[in-house]
Amino acid sequence: MIIKSIALNNFRQYKGAQPPILFSTDKEKNVTVILGVNTSGKTTLIQAFEWCLYERVNFKTRDVLNIEVAKSMDLFSAQEVFVEIVLIHEDREFTIRRTQKSTKSDADKFKTEKSVLKIQFKEDNGEQQAVPAYECDNTINKILPEALSDYFFFDGERIADINNRGDVVAAVRGLMGLDVVGEAKDRLDPNKASSVTAKFSKELDVGSDQKNNKLKNDLTDAQTRLDAHNTRRKDAKDDIEYYERRKEELSAQILANKDEKHNQDKKLSLEKDIAQITKNIENDETRIVKDFSAGTMKFFATPLIYRAMKVIDEAKDNGEGIPEMRSAAIDFILDRQKCICGCDLIKNEGARENILYEQRLLPPQHLGTVLRTSKETFKRYLNETQSFCETVKDNHTDYRNNRNFLDAKTDELKNVSAKIQGNIDVAKIEQDYQKNEKTLKDKRDLLLKITSDIGATEKEIAEIEKTIERLTIVSDKNERLRKCIAYAKAVYEWLKVGYDKQEKEVKERLLESVNNIFEKMYHGKRHVTINDRYQIVLMTLLNNDEVKTDESKGLEAVKNFSFISGLVDLARQKAHKGNGVTDDEEIPVNTEAYPLVMDAPFSNADEIHINNISKIIPEIAEQVILMVMQKDWEFARPALEDKIGCRYSIEKINNSDTNSVIRRNA
């Protein structure tokens, strides 16, 4: 595909009918440069391509009518906006024109009609033929599928999003023509309920037996379940890829902040230590109060206790009663008239007298017992006071040590806290990492289960098909259907083998092309790799291991430029190679070389990368159209000067943001 020209009328900044912009189609001088300042209409121009082809714009509003024209319109008058593109695709010239009419219905209101798309193509004899209206959208998607358009009409300021799009796989497959083969393969897949093969199977005549006919429904149900399993497996694989990328990102963050992590771990440890020491101090204080309160009176009463014991020792009445005996207990024995030894106190008067004697020794009847009890209590007090001093000393030592320990830990915490930046929570990153690991494991387990379900369902389908095969009656119709099924399965297997082989080759060639381009653009030691989703990742060699590296905006721009350039280069190689079949397994696919139409392509690149990028783009693209700011052009000019076939400037009329013209430079 080569773009010959674009013409605009009343489209945004471009007031009135603008002279067509003719782009360079020279194979050697294949670059067209359009210079303009901010708000002059560079982005509008690239949006004009997308509006014309796909009725798509990225403006804040969908209004495309020039503001000055809109304000000058009389009530009930109408104006047209149109964009017309002339391009060559597969050696045929197409003229594509989208028109939209707006009528002023009130002072500041407009009735905007649905845009009208018209396409004409030039026959070999020079006659123009119109494409039917219902085929216009299909024709454009055959020329350049909308899913691919962002890779060839793009804003350099949004280039960071290019490699993170969800449709990268579809874009690459579409670019290489594999999407058509993939769709054909899916239409023949015998395991899909909606496939041609399945429809043939449903038409097989298995007789009038109800059970036999039920097998067809069972086969359809199993194929429908298999479709659902395959969809779930694709979703699970996409999820796993996402969480694996997330794991790499989190690992890189943790590694990049390992010193921060050490300090944060130290801080957490110190905080735990301080909390425990504070608790120990509180326990020490409680124990000191408790032990001091319990032993103080006894300790300070020690001299008095010694004097009291001396008085007791010197007392003459030392009679002692039975220890712990109570008068009430003796009264009970006397009332019962039977001793605890079993002696009858009525018959044995002597025993009764002895019991009465013991009762008289009990307090308050006998002072000797009171003295003896007091002496034993005083001895116990003296024993307890012997450990009181040691207990007080130990309690104070523990308290003092814990206070000193707390001061030391608090000082250490202040020092560690001062080292922590505070804006990076590595603990939170690690927590996210652990959650990501759990989710990743769950997704992998789910994938295993889905894969197992797929295997079981495929086995079920195979068994039902065998049963149906045995039950089908012999008839011309069934014989024809069997042949159709066999052919469909054979074609499916051929497509599958060839598709898988070519997709592998596409990925390998894309990786080679992207790395070659990246090495020329980038002035460092990194390289790139491509994952299964055709997303490129920057890698570097660290201690003999390849690790993913962080990206600055400039480096990200170079990486994504390499990816886009690699896609364009791949399409160009495929188009130039032709479609000759090299072996029995290769599937012929059609593809076309594409131009690169870029707005502000050097926004995030430094002067060295601008120069490197400018050298490479004309070499890998059949046609390059650049909308560039003057400041960036100064760095790109030396590399592009010899490749420029056409040069334009966008000028603001009376310095207006709503009226610009594009003038061709000599």
Mean pLDDT of 411-418: 80
Per-residue model confidence (pLDDT) at position 383: 76
Q: Poorest-confidence range of 260-264, 345-349, 405-409?
A: 260-264
Q: Can you tell me whether residue 397 is helix, strand or coil?
A: helix
Task: Give the amino acid at 248.
Answer: E
Per-residue model confidence (pLDDT) at position 363: 60
Of the ranges 43-57, 198-212, 386-400, the best mean pLDDT one: 43-57
Other Cβ atoms closer than 10 A to 443: 20
Residue 183 has pLDDT above 90, yes or no: no
Asked whether the beta carbons of 110 and 102 are under 8 A apart, the reply is yes
Asked whether the beta carbons of 75 and 69 are under 8 A apart, the reply is no
The C-alpha atoms of residue 6 and residue 18 are separated, in whole angstroms, by 10
The C-alpha atoms of residue 65 and residue 14 are separated, in whole angstroms, by 9
Q: Can you tell me whether residue 3 is helix, strand or coil?
A: strand
β pairing state of 21-22 and 596-599: unpaired
The C-alpha atoms of residue 247 and residue 292 are separated, in whole angstroms, by 59
For residue range 132-156, list pLDDT tens digits in order. Answer: 999 999 999 888 878 778 778 877 6
- What percentage of the chain has pLDDT greater than the value 70? 84
Mean pLDDT of 437-453: 90
Mean pLDDT of 365-390: 72
Q: Poorest-confidence range of 84-88, 527-531, 562-566?
A: 527-531
The C-alpha atoms of residue 68 and residue 661 are separated, in whole angstroms, by 14
The C-alpha atoms of residue 535 and residue 24 are separated, in whole angstroms, by 32
Per-residue model confidence (pLDDT) at position 588: 53
Q: Poorest-confidence range of 125-139, 500-514, 590-604, 633-647?
A: 590-604
In this structure, the dihedral spanned by the alpha carbons of residues 468, 473, 474 and 478, taken in order and rounded to 10 degrees, is -60
Residues in Cβ contact with 584 at an 8 Å cutoff, skipping those fewer than 6 apart: none
Residue length of the chain: 666
Residues in Cβ contact with 587 at an 8 Å cutoff, skipping those fewer than 6 apart: 181, 494, 495, 498, 499, 502
- Closest to 626 in 3D by CA, of 605, 601, 604: 601
Per-residue model confidence (pLDDT) at position 470: 73
For residue range 572-585, list pLDDT tens digits in order. Answer: 776 666 544 444 44
At CB < 8 A and 24+ separation, what contacts does 648-654 make?
A: 648/21, 648/32, 648/33, 648/34, 648/35, 649/34, 649/35, 649/36, 650/34, 650/35, 650/36, 650/37, 650/40, 650/41, 650/42, 650/45, 651/40, 652/37, 652/39, 652/40, 653/15
Mean pLDDT of 168-188: 75
Q: Poorest-confidence range of 66-75, 338-347, 420-429, 512-521?
A: 420-429
Per-residue model confidence (pLDDT) at position 474: 64
Rounded (10°) angle between helices 553-577 and 168-175? 30
For residue range 295-321, list pLDDT tens digits in order. Answer: 778 778 888 877 877 777 766 555 556
Q: How far are the Cα atoms of 263, 280, 420 from residue 274, in angstroms, in the given order?
A: 16, 10, 18
Q: Give the burial string for 270-285 (b: 16+ CB within 10 Å, else e).
A: beebbeebeebbeebe
- Locate all alpha helices (DSSP H) within 472-552, ordered by sequence: 476-521
Of the ranges 172-181, 237-246, 652-661, the best mean pLDDT one: 652-661
Mean pLDDT of 183-199: 80
Mean pLDDT of 12-28: 93
- What percentage of the chain has pLDDT greater than the value 90? 21
Consecutive H or E run containing 234: helix 210-256
Residues in Cβ contact with 547 at an 8 Å cutoff, skipping those fewer than 6 apart: 252, 539, 540
Q: At which residue do the structure tokens 């690699």 appear?
A: 566
Identify the band that residue 88 occupies on the pLDDT scale cut at 50, 70 and 90. very high
Per-residue model confidence (pLDDT) at position 558: 77
Per-residue model confidence (pLDDT) at position 164: 57
β pairing state of 536-542 and 644-652: unpaired
The C-alpha atoms of residue 456 and residue 465 are separated, in whole angstroms, by 14
The C-alpha atoms of residue 68 and residue 14 are separated, in whole angstroms, by 10
**Tokens coding 637:** 């000019």
Residue 391 has pLDDT above 80, yes or no: yes
Mean pLDDT of 373-390: 77
Per-residue model confidence (pLDDT) at position 493: 87
Residues in Cβ contact with 49 at an 8 Å cutoff, skipping those fewer than 6 apart: 6, 83, 85, 153, 597
Q: Poorest-confidence range of 66-70, 90-94, 563-567?
A: 563-567
Residues in Cβ contact with 20 at an 8 Å cutoff, skipping those fewer than 6 apart: 5, 6, 7, 84, 86
Of the ranges 77-86, 370-379, 543-552, the best mean pLDDT one: 77-86
Identify the band that residue 166 occupies on the pLDDT scale cut at 50, 70 and 90. low
Q: Omega before 364 cis (within 30°)?
A: yes
Mean pLDDT of 73-91: 93
The residue with greater pLDDT, 371 or 33, is 33
For residue range 633-660, list pLDDT tens digits in order. Answer: 888 888 899 999 999 999 999 888 889 9
The residue with greater pLDDT, 475 or 492, is 492
The values of phi and psi at residue 113, to 5°, are -80, 165
Q: How far are the Cα atoms of 321, 326, 372, 373 from residue 329, in angstroms, in the given order?
A: 13, 5, 20, 18
Q: Poorest-confidence range of 14-28, 444-458, 480-494, 604-618?
A: 604-618
The C-alpha atoms of residue 175 and residue 151 are separated, in whole angstroms, by 10
Mean pLDDT of 601-609: 75
Asked whether the beta carbons of 99 and 82 are under 8 A apart, the reply is yes
Q: At which residue do the structure tokens 């430029």 appear?
A: 561
Per-residue model confidence (pLDDT) at position 390: 81
